[in-house]
Amino acid sequence: MSVVGDVRRSTGTSYWLREALAADPGEACPPLRGETTADVVVLGGGYCGLWTAWFLTERAPGIDVVVLERDVCGSGASGRNGGFVGAWWDEIDGLAARYGDDAALAACRAGDESIWAIEDWCQRQGVDAWYRPADYLEVASSEAQEGAWGGAVEACRRLGEPERYRDISAEEVQRVCRTPALRAGAVMRGATVQPARLARGLRRVLLERGVRIHEGTSASRMGRGSLVEVETKDGLVRAGRAVIATNAWAARWPGLRRSLVVRGSYIVLTAPAPERIEELGWTGGEPICDVRTALHYFRTTPDGRIAFGGVGRALGSRIGPGYDHDEVSLRWVAEGFRRIFPSFDDVPIEEGWGGPVDVSATHHPWFGTLPGGAAHYGVGFTGHGVSQAHLGGRILSALALDREDEVTELPFVNRRPRRFPPSLLTGVGGAVIQRAILRKDRLEDAGRRPGWLTRFVASLPRRLGYALGPSR
Ligand SMILES: Cc1cc2nc3c(=O)[nH]c(=O)nc-3n(C[C@H](O)[C@H](O)[C@H](O)COP(=O)(O)OP(=O)(O)OC[C@H]3O[C@@H](n4cnc5c(N)ncnc54)[C@H](O)[C@@H]3O)c2cc1C
């Protein structure tokens, strides 16, 4: 059976966004026409921009906030992602090595708070984002991946938080999801959401709070003087502060260009097959990912589908239609799905879509202020923004209000992001490294050991001090 022959061509949106819009289209948010003023103008109507607007209205009631969104709120990664709501405990060893134990613990605890704060927020605001708390598993799907989680598990033990991220045996993994490719791993607490419902729920609540949202409104230029001036095709906003929350689109924004590289992440979605999910015993809603370098992530939906995601090929920093739907990338992801879930062999893949990911050199986001002091940014979520963008909203609202608190003390706030060298990790250099990573992953999936050249090229980013690519 063809792995992607049956994937319906995406119409540029995801299944999630279509489902969310069908459930509640929301009131219209017409494009900006003419000039206006605001206390804060937010660029980008994804989680980061919308949570920023939320926290601004929480912290400064009556504040005048305008959100400009190129397309519709949730049309970017926030309405396309896997819906994994996770913490940072699985990265605590890297954070501790880079910033020290205390800063790493503070970051992980703040990330954890966001998981539960999103649940609380959905309940209080009446947003049905299918929020479902569950164990979040990271497991080996080949022998070569075994033990990749050991450093973080050990760091959690050493730092007195052994339950936050702990080993789980192959037998325990099989009790969660009985499919033969899955081996031992590690587990932390997390949740899943219907991602677009969360984004659209934020939009609804913000409109009720009086935030002005203009969809179909792309910010084309920003002038920074005593006031920020954001130009759009048919309008202009003058504001005291601006917040740039445009995810991978920021990779072309002056001042942020070399802080990010853009990658696509792609998801295939099966037809409903609840009886097959039952056979797997996968009924607890657990989000699961493997620990390949180009990782796979998979979850179920309430109607018994599997949404299975993975990393796509390098398409460059100009975000075009390939980031919505790329046949090559979707084929890779579908192959991964068929390998890991052989019992779904005759269940059709109904849909496939993708979205852009803003990869930072450190594998975590950065929050700061551009020269001049009036424009703040939150970028570099590196495919983990569902909970982190909530934390990002807390941080960016504090920056825009000139407030300091425990989250502005975190180690990735108000420091210059680590930058990528122009030639090595982007362009041809980036493509060569990505090919080596892909080859390494594929050989290891097949139980073979890659040659030294493949291993060497794949490990170049790590050797150069970037938190990307295989760590061993
Ligand atoms: C396929 C896929 C799967 C993923 N899976 C997960 C997951 O399971 N768990 C997880 O934690 N993370 C995941 N992520 C990452 C997560 O979705 C993002 O980190 C998160 O949504 C980032 O939110 P954001 O607001 O920064 O970006 P976005 O949601 O992309 O929002 C940015 C918005 O800015 C708008 N914009 C761009 N340029 C302009 C402009 N000039 N003017 C105005 N607006 C503009 C865009 O249209 C977009 O709506 C995944 C990402 C993808 C693509």
38-76: pLDDT as tens digits: 999 999 999 999 999 999 999 999 999 999 999 999 999
pTM: 0.96
At residue 182, the pLDDT reads 98
Section 251-263 average pLDDT: 88
At residue 10, the pLDDT reads 53
Rounded Cα distance between 311 and 330, Å, is: 9
Nearest CA to ligand 1 atom 35: 44
Nearest CA to ligand 1 atom 33: 44
Ligand 1 in reach of 392 Cβ (< 6 A): no
Query: How far does Cα 360 stand from its chain's mean position?
Result: 12
Band (pLDDT 50/70/90 cuts) for residue 255 is confident
Nearest CA to ligand 1 atom 53: 355
Nearest CA to ligand 1 atom 41: 219
Phi–psi pair at 259, nearest 5 degrees = -85, -10
Section 183-205 average pLDDT: 98
8 pLDDT more than 70: no
Which percentage of the chain shows pLDDT scores above 70? 97
Rounded Cα distance between 191 and 120, Å, is: 12
Closest ligand 1 atom to 385 CA: 19
Closest CA to 189 of 123, 248, 113, 124: 113
Rounded Cα distance between 115 and 58, Å, is: 18
12 pLDDT more than 80: no
Cα(175) to centroid of ligand 1, in Å? 33
Ligand 1 in reach of 50 Cβ (< 6 A): no
Cα(60) to centroid of ligand 1, in Å? 26
Task: List pLDDT tens digits, range 270-302.
Answer: 999 999 999 999 999 999 999 999 999 999 999
Cα torsion for 124, 80, 375, 241, to the nearest 10°? -40
Ligand 1 in reach of 376 Cβ (< 6 A): no
Return the H-helix or E-strand segment holding 112. Answer: helix 101-125
Closest CA to 462 of 94, 155, 107, 86: 94
Q: Which of 147-161, 256-270, 337-351 has the lowest mean pLDDT?
A: 256-270
Token pair of 374 as six digits: 């009036």
Band (pLDDT 50/70/90 cuts) for residue 252 is confident
Beta strand 65-68 with 34-43 is parallel
Nearest CA to ligand 1 atom 51: 81
Ligand 1 in reach of 84 Cβ (< 6 A): yes
How open is the CA angle 323-324-326, to the nearest 5 degrees? 70
Give rounded-to-5 percent helix, strand, coil for the chain.
Answer: 40, 25, 40
Ligand 1 in reach of 267 Cβ (< 6 A): yes
CA distances from 464 to 262, 308, 345, 361 (A): 19, 31, 41, 10
Section 441-460 average pLDDT: 92
Question: Which residue in the block uniquely carries the two structure tokens 């995406």?
Answer: 10
Cα(366) to centroid of ligand 1, in Å? 15
Band (pLDDT 50/70/90 cuts) for residue 4 is low
At residue 39, the pLDDT reads 98
Band (pLDDT 50/70/90 cuts) for residue 5 is low
Rounded Cα distance between 74 and 202, Å, is: 10
Section 388-393 average pLDDT: 98
* Residue of 66, 217, 313, 381 to mutate, ligand 1, most atoms within 8 A of C-beta: 381
At residue 3, the pLDDT reads 42
At residue 390, the pLDDT reads 98
At residue 7, the pLDDT reads 55
Section 428-433 average pLDDT: 83
Rounded Cα distance between 246 and 231, Å, is: 15
Nearest CA to ligand 1 atom 19: 385
Query: How far does Cα 270 stand from its chain's mean position?
Result: 21
